[in-house]
């Protein structure tokens, strides 16, 4: 039994180290691209402006802006206001509000659409009466009525800048094979809480060290679902939107690039968006992203390896589509770690523990990735990277939630597209607790997370008892991660807020009765 535990633990750590080592690959290409740029071997794309390309505004290309919405009461009006401020000729810009909502969002959006129509905008409020295909289905349905040669897409939590089209459209005229241009997300509420700051750190790592570096290095990248613009013919040539995965954006991206379309990522053009401000919204988002990526991998990895592509492109695509497989191995590592500590006390496997020590080094890869990403964006990047331990612990704490997503994807079990609720929060004083869309109950996954936090606390005690102090930092990260995710999941649920409200009410009643009695005694 000991040999089996050690073997599974070794495999888990080995797999994690492989994916951790991939960080060094991204770091290598990051510095290679920098060097090539300095030495003149790589030239930045410098498109002409729309004015230079077309002269008069009447010659500008037609653009359709699609806004897929589902129950976005708090942010839909903000999105429509932002889109109406985009600097582009009204007669050349069609706006489609693809509204699958089932609540008051429908009425709120309808009023806003009427207001914008009165101002001369070509805007449609499109209702399907069904959620078939979820977001992909809505986008595909909208394509039937789209007038534009280019299709820009924004989710409800985005606030596109007025110059979005003028900064993105010119890139399509550099090369007729450019099918999509993606901008970097900026974070409206980054400083709302530690949770949003950790998310910002993670997303910055993705956009700089994955999207930007990989795009500059000739690898496949993906449309991020929002904050980007497509050439219509690219969407149609690649087979249009398909709703058989939870990652419709990644799905279409791989199909398009397998058909030789090129993508462009713009590091310095940003699209502001709101980050999830409560943990249950983040967990639903992470579940969807994790499961969707595995589904896309199952769908296209075989085709990728059969295509006549450079080996490095095939390998990078494989890492990208399978990197969420780390979560089951993170969970296995957490479960087995205390047992491995106890087995070590027998002294029969000294060679094993010596070899395991080597696998610590690959875990510096992710740290370098996120450090370089923050340095690329912020002047105060050192203040940002301090949050890396919180981000890492949170990622470990999400292992239960995301392992469930991986397993369901591998079993090819279909699940609903659960959108990530947003509350229109920007300032730190604004609250989401009393708003709609807050999780009404505590999911079973949360109880598992809390139990694992207790389990890791016991593991820490075992390590202290046996003086295996080298295991403590690892166990402390797991304990912090499972505690952070589990406890927040309870605290950020409606049932907890209702309970706290009742307790506060009871305390106020007691306080008032005591004050009344004291007053009477006087």
Active site residues: 100, 249
Give me the long-range contacts of 119-124 (CB less than 8 A, separation at least 24).
119/84, 120/90, 121/84, 121/90, 121/93, 121/95, 122/90, 122/91, 122/93, 122/94, 122/95, 122/147, 123/94, 123/95, 123/96, 123/97, 124/94, 124/95, 124/96, 124/97
* Residue that is written with structure tokens 């429509």 in the block: 80
Q: Cα–Cα distance between 296 and 316 in angstroms, integer?
A: 15
Q: Cα–Cα distance between 139 and 137 in angstroms, integer?
A: 6
Q: For residues 418 and 287, is the Cβ–Cβ distance under 8 A?
A: yes
Q: For residues 229 and 150, is the Cβ–Cβ distance under 8 A?
A: yes
Report the candidate in 504, 449, 503, 507 with the shortest Cα–Cα distance to residue 479. 449
Q: For residues 481 and 396, is the Cβ–Cβ distance under 8 A?
A: yes
271 beta partners: 185
Report the candidate in 408, 413, 417 with the shortest Cα–Cα distance to residue 131. 417
Q: Cα–Cα distance between 42 and 34 in angstroms, integer?
A: 9
Q: For residues 487 and 432, is the Cβ–Cβ distance under 8 A?
A: no
Q: Is 411 helix (H, G, I), strand (E, B) or coil?
A: coil
Q: For residues 113 and 97, is the Cβ–Cβ distance under 8 A?
A: yes
Q: Cα–Cα distance between 201 and 392 in angstroms, integer?
A: 10
- The tokens describing 215, both together, are 């795009």
Q: Cα–Cα distance between 344 and 353 in angstroms, integer?
A: 8
Q: Is 273 helix (H, G, I), strand (E, B) or coil?
A: strand
Q: For residues 241 and 133, is the Cβ–Cβ distance under 8 A?
A: yes
Q: Is 410 exposed, middle or buried (0-12, 13-18, 19+ CB in 10 A)?
A: middle
- The tokens describing 278, both together, are 């409560």
């Amino acid at each position: 039994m000991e040999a089996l535990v050690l073997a599974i633990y070794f495999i888990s750590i080995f797999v994690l180290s492989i994916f951790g080592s991939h960080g060094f690959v991204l770091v290598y290409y990051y510095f290679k691209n920098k060097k090539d740029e300095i030495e003149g071997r790589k030239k930045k794309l410098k498109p002409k402006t729309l004015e230079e390309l077309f002269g008069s505004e009447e010659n500008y290309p037609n653009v359709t802006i699609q806004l897929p919405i589902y129950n976005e009461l708090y942010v839909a009006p903000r999105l429509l206001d932002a889109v109406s401020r985009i600097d582009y000729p009204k007669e050349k810009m069609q706006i489609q509000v693809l509204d699958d909502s089932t609540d008051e969002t429908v009425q709120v959006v309808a009023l806003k659409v009427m207001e914008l129509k009165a101002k001369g905008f070509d805007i449609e409020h499109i209702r399907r009466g069904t959620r078939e295909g979820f977001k992909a289905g809505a986008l595909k349905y909208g394509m039937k009525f789209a007038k534009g040669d280019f299709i820009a897409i924004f989710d409800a939590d985005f606030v596109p800048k007025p110059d979005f089209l003028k900064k993105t459209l010119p890139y399509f005229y550099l090369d007729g094979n450019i099918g999509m241009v993606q901008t970097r997300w900026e974070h409206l509420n980054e400083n709302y809480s530690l949770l949003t700051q950790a998310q910002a750190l993670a997303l910055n790592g993705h956009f700089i060290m994955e999207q930007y570096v990989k795009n500059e290095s000739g690898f496949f990248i993906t449309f991020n679902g929002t904050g980007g613009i497509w050439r219509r013919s690219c969407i149609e040539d690649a087979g249009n939107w398909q709703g058989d995965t939870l990652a419709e954006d990644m799905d279409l991206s791989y199909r398009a690039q397998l058909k030789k379309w090129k993508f462009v990522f713009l590091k310095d053009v940003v699209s502001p968006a709101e980050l999830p401000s409560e943990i249950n919204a983040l967990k639903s988002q992470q579940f969807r992203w994790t499961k969707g990526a595995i589904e896309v991998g199952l769908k296209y990895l075989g085709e990728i390896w059969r295509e006549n592509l450079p080996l490095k492109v095939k390998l990078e695509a494989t890492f990208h589509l399978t990197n969420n497989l780390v979560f089951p191995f993170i969970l296995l590592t957490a479960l087995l770690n205390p047992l491995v500590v106890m087995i070590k006390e027998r002294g029969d496997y000294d060679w094993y523990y010596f070899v395991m020590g080597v696998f610590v080094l690959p875990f510096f890869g992710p740290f370098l990735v996120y450090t370089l990403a923050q340095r690329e964006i912020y002047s105060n990047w050192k203040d940002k990277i301090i949050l890396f331990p919180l981000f890492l612990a949170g990622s470990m704490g999400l292992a239960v939630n995301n392992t469930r997503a991986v397993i369901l994807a591998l079993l090819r079990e279909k699940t609903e597209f659960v959108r990530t609720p947003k509350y229109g929060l920007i300032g730190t004083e604004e609250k989401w607790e009393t708003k709609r869309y807050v999780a009404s109950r505590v999911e079973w996954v949360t109880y598992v997370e809390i139990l694992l936090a207790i389990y890791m606390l016991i593991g820490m005690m075992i390590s202290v008892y046996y003086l295996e102090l080298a295991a403590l930092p690892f166990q402390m990260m797991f304990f912090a991660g499972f505690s952070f995710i589990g406890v927040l999941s309870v605290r950020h649920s409606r049932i907890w807020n209702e309970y706290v409200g009742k307790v506060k009410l009871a305390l106020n009643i007691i306080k008032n009765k005591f004050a009344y009695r004291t007053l009477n005694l006087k």
